Structure 1
């Protein structure tokens, strides 16, 4: 029987000072400047493929507002209805816009109108540019009305840096061999790699072993090789 490890390091909140910027400096700079004068700016839409960091930037923006005592409305395409607007919010976030069904498109459109009426900042993200989103015309047009940023995935050096920093936070020694194994056998999707690191941390604790390539291979074998190329 294996020991069930207790969490030692809680997951960190995504913040701008911990986000790997890479080629997305313009988007990050724009987001960090939103609301500095206390006035909602034009809507912002972020798009990019899986692993480009869209959700992390949305969370960083939400965390910054909450750190200043503000309230944020957060909606994902999978969240249950109804989606109700709150005038106390300073920011409304809608993630995974490409997956909005008809009912949630209606709800998102209503949120957009309410946010504009009450001067609340709007921030959304999806895998496609607004013009290509499979959405109703009025919502698609509004998502593309303000500032639109195409996000690029991190390069190898930036991915390594992000993994190394998270490993250090957890107190894990991540050797170059382990890092190379991860980056050569899995897609360079930072979210997926972070999930692998999380599972590897737990597996190492349960096995009472250091993180090594053989341990990683054992975990993947027990996990049916999920996600390996």
Structure 2
């Protein structure tokens, strides 16, 4: 069963691949995750370090027999029972697992899934959170110990230079030309949250198509009101 066959309104961004992922200080973690030798990997770090992008890249690369669930988006619209049976997949990616663990129903289903994955031993499980397993708020404390059984990796933020590179790589994947000076202007003037910068790049892409304009600093100022 592929992701597209599931009754979920979840779309993987096609431009969030390893080709558009700048490793920076996270090169070792990315290599380990991409190698796929560990059954359980727990990735944590603050917003904007690329946790979701890494999961999207892994899913896009493997393509078949993969399930990706953005739990922060699904917790209020889906029943926790959706986690039952996921161990039939070769790869399970649970994004923002900390968003559901204070809910007893969700936490129980996460606990049960972790046990099934461990007992079966044939499924890879990648999870992300904003904090380390020891700092998690959980309705069932045993979930914290289960999550720490695997490889625990903290992802770090990119430098400004690496964010410029990331913007340029994403722009290239979108068919845009983003010069270094324009990318540097965006990082310096629009804030250093990489996720927010990528969203603004999407807005600039639409505006440049509509106006038939290149992404210059004056154009960025005009579109984004900088």
- Choose the corresponding residue for 2:149, options 145, 148, 152: 145
8 Å Cα contact 1:13-1:63 kept in structure 2: no
Pairing 1:213–2:217 present = yes
Secondary structure of the equivalent of 2:162? helix
CA separation of 1:205 and 1:17: change in aligned 2, threshold 3 A: closer
Corresponding position of 2:137? 134
CA separation of 1:141 and 1:14: change in aligned 2, threshold 3 A: same
Structure 2 gap ranges (5+): 1-12
Q: Any runs of at least 4 consecutive aligned residues in structure 1 with deviations exceeding 6 A, and if so which?
A: none
Structure 1 gap ranges (5+): 1-10, 36-40
CA separation of 1:29 and 1:176: change in aligned 2, threshold 3 A: closer
Q: 1:130, CA displacement in angstroms?
A: 0.8
Q: 1:87, CA displacement in angstroms?
A: 4.5
Secondary structure of the equivalent of 2:25? coil
Tell me, in whole angstroms, the C-alpha distance in 1 between the residues paired with 2:181 and 2:165. 15
Tell me, in whole angstroms, the C-alpha distance in 2 between the residues paired with 1:110 and 1:140. 13
Q: TM-score, normalised by structure 2?
A: 0.81
- Choose the corresponding residue for 2:28, options 26, 29, 53: 26
Structure (1 or 2) with the larger CA radius of gyration: 1
Pairing 1:55–2:55 present = no
8 Å Cα contact 1:94-1:108 kept in structure 2: no
Q: More helix per residue: 1 or 2? A: 2
Give the length in aligned residue pairs: 205
Corresponding position of 1:111? 113
Corresponding position of 1:76? 70
- CA offsets per residue over residues 99-134 of structure 1, 9 Å max, x none? 114122222222212222222111101011111111
Tell me, in whole angstroms, the C-alpha distance in 1 between the residues paired with 2:70 and 2:222. 35
Q: 1:209, CA displacement in angstroms?
A: 2.6
- CA offsets per residue over residues 172-203 of structure 1, 9 Å max, x none? 33234422321112332322211111100101
8 Å Cα contact 2:164-2:184 kept in structure 1: no
Corresponding position of 2:127? 124
Q: TM-score, normalised by structure 1?
A: 0.80
8 Å Cα contact 2:43-2:127 kept in structure 1: yes
Pairing 1:46–2:43 present = yes
Pairing 1:99–2:103 present = no
Tell me, in whole angstroms, the C-alpha distance in 1 between the residues paired with 2:179 and 2:28. 33
Please tell me the root mean square deviation across aligned C-alpha atoms, in Å: 2.2
Matches within 5 A, 1:183-198: 183-198=187-202
